[in-house]
Amino acid sequence: MSWGTTRVLGSRDAARYLAAVLVSGFGTAAMLLVAGIWVKDLTGSSGLAGLVTLGIWGPALIAPLIGVLADRFRRRPLLIWLHLAMAALLPVLLVDTAVLVWLIFAVMVAYGVSFVLIDSAEAALVPAVVPGELLGDFNGLRMTVNEGMKLVAPLAGAGLFAAYGGRPVVLLDAVTFALAALLLSLIRVREAPPPPAEPWTRQLAEGLGHLRRHAVLRHLVACTGVAMLLIGINGALAYAVVDDGLHRPPEFNGVLGTVQGVGSLVGGLATGALLRRLGDRRVTALAAALLAAGLALRGAPGLVPVAAGTLAVGVGAPLVLITVWTAVQRQTPNALIGRVSATVNTLTFGPGTLAVVAGAGLLELVDYRVIQLAGAAGAVLLAGWALRGGPRPAAPDAARGAAPDGPRAAGGEEAAPGPATPQTAPAAGTAERG
């Protein structure tokens, strides 16, 4: 366990925050799997079951609009009320009949909207709970907790559904949301009141303007978007890899999914230390190199190279995501973090969503191995762009001459100047810690 991870876990408020993520994540991961199974069981339609995912992730496409709300309220109360609202909403699914299957879709859309708001509010609140130098470690632990829940909670949810139907899973998820709200209420943090509400369009423009002015952050977001596009294509080829490459049944994707999940756990735990040692650019380049190796290996025949490639992709994905999330928290004024983080989520996850569709279409025309190797070549180019593209970091002397509160990127890289000075994590006096 790294020094940063130990420090984070030693903070009472950070530990409570992670416990809330763990509890809520368990119920959510179980419910997300069961929702699709439930629709299939009620209607017999695989198409309708597949549309459950669209309801969950669809709101991410308008995340910048939703994220504005996260900057209009204090973030801790907003998070508490969001979790309580989801706990109160879920019992509508206790009506188990095909006629009311639309309720499942409505709740999943509410899930998607709440995910965007929760992510935006968390991005803004975390710097008030965790010291700036530990943000990468915290974000890594948060992803590790989430990925860990994805390894065990879906099995628990599927087991409950098989034995007792959907109602126990609904009640489990509602209870976990309520417990998460309780844990969040125990966090002691002093938040400044939000600034007076401005017109919605102006707030949205301010979030987009921050990214437009901040060259270093903009370059990092672009690199992450390309990385997620490559990961999306890789996901679209998953069944071809198992069927055409390994000659195994589709269910074997579950095994490879577990391997990728283990890689994500490793990547999440390692990111904080890597960011301190290497900085944003090099960690992003390392992630791209891992993606290149993983994509190439998944195009090779044989279980061993495919498993190794899947593991590499699993490690690389959290490296690039945690890096950009941490950079947003460190290089964005706190009053803007909600809408900026929501915009970044759309710019990074949007390409991956489109890539899934594109990859599925390409499979009809090109052998999957060609697509995998083309993706690997693209990842190599991405690694070079991450290191050399965009604005250059300031020289050490220039950095020392900067104003004490000047914006700084993770790993000591100087951020591009902007009209507003980003707020770094507050000192210990701002957030009460044990």
Task: Tell me the per-residue pLDDT of 151-202, one tens digit each, with 9 for 90 and over.
Answer: 788 778 878 888 888 888 889 999 999 999 999 999 988 777 777 766 767 7
CA distances from 298 to 12, 235, 277, 353 (A): 42, 11, 30, 20
**Residue 232 in contact with residue 296, Cβ under 8 Å?**
no
Q: Calculate the average pLDDT of the chain.
A: 80
Is the residue at 13 inside a domain? yes
Highest mean pLDDT among 26-30, 310-314, 364-368, 416-420: 310-314
Give yes or no: residues 259 and 174 share one domain. Answer: no
pLDDT of 311 > 90? The answer is yes
Query: What does the pLDDT read at residue 374?
Result: 92
269 vs 293, residue with greater confidence: 293
Interatomic CA distance for residues 4 and 263, integer angstroms: 20
Give yes or no: residues 218 and 165 share one domain. Answer: no
pTM listed for this prediction: 0.71
Q: What's the CATH number where 331 sits?
A: 1.20.1250.20
Instruction: Give me the mean pLDDT over the 342-348 stretch.
Output: 84
pLDDT of 434 > 50? The answer is no
Interatomic CA distance for residues 38 and 241, integer angstroms: 28
pLDDT of 50 > 90? The answer is no
Q: Is 143 exposed, middle or buried (0-12, 13-18, 19+ CB in 10 A)?
A: buried
List 414's β-bridge partners, or say none: 408
Using alpha carbons, select from 346, 376, 355, 148 the residue that is nearest to residue 235: 355
Q: Where in the sequence is the domain holding 367, given as residue range(s)?
A: 200-421
Query: What does the pLDDT read at residue 406?
Result: 37
List 415's β-bridge partners, or say none: none
Tell me which DSSP letter residue 431 carries.
Answer: S
Give yes or no: residues 95 and 123 share one domain. Answer: yes
List 408's β-bridge partners, or say none: 414
pLDDT of 238 > 50? The answer is yes
Is the residue at 431 inside a domain? no
Query: What does the pLDDT read at residue 396?
Result: 36
Note the Cα 327 to chain centre separation in Å: 14
Give yes or no: residues 179 and 210 share one domain. Answer: no
Interatomic CA distance for residues 360 and 364, integer angstroms: 7
Is the residue at 116 inside a domain? yes
Is the residue at 433 inside a domain? no
Give yes or no: residues 35 and 121 share one domain. Answer: yes
- And the tokens for 367? 């052998």
pLDDT, tens digit, 9 for 90 and up, residues 90-142: 887 776 777 778 888 888 888 888 988 888 888 888 888 887 778 888 888 88
Using alpha carbons, select from 258, 293, 274 the residue that is nearest to residue 372: 293
Give yes or no: residues 152 and 281 share one domain. Answer: no
Give yes or no: residues 175 and 246 share one domain. Answer: no
pLDDT of 251 > 80? The answer is no
Give yes or no: residues 302 and 276 share one domain. Answer: yes
pLDDT, tens digit, 9 for 90 and up, residues 360-403: 778 778 888 998 999 999 999 999 999 986 555 444 333 333 33
Is the residue at 267 inside a domain? yes
pLDDT of 85 > 80? The answer is yes
- Please, what is the Cα angle at 153 between 147 and 158, to 5 degrees? 135
Structural domains in the chain (count): 2
- And the tokens for 207? 């979030």
- And the tokens for 419? 């009209």
pLDDT of 33 > 50? The answer is yes
- Please, what is the Cα angle at 140 between 129 and 434, to 5 degrees? 30
Using alpha carbons, select from 423, 394, 395, 425 the residue that is nearest to residue 407: 423
Task: Determine what percent of the chain is predicted with pLDDT higher than 70.
Answer: 85
Query: What does the pLDDT read at residue 397?
Result: 39
Note the Cα 13 to chain centre separation in Å: 21
Q: Is 411 exposed, middle or buried (0-12, 13-18, 19+ CB in 10 A)?
A: buried
Tokens 């900026």, residue? 340
Stretch among 53-67, 194-208, 224-238, 369-383 having the lowest mean pLDDT: 194-208
Last residue of a domain, one of 189, 223, 240: 189
88 vs 423, residue with greater confidence: 88
Instruction: Give me the mean pLDDT over the 270-299 stretch.
Output: 93
Phi–psi pair at 415, nearest 5 degrees: -80, 155
Query: What does the pLDDT read at residue 376?
Result: 94
Give yes or no: residues 226 and 285 share one domain. Answer: yes
- And the tokens for 188? 């002691």
Give yes or no: residues 355 and 215 share one domain. Answer: yes
Give yes or no: residues 169 and 204 share one domain. Answer: no
Interatomic CA distance for residues 397 and 410, integer angstroms: 17
**Residue 54 in contact with residue 62, Cβ under 8 Å?**
no
Give yes or no: residues 8 and 98 share one domain. Answer: yes
Interatomic CA distance for residues 273 and 279, integer angstroms: 10
CA atoms within 13 A on the CB side of 203: 22
Task: Determine what percent of the chain is predicted with pLDDT higher than 90.
Answer: 22
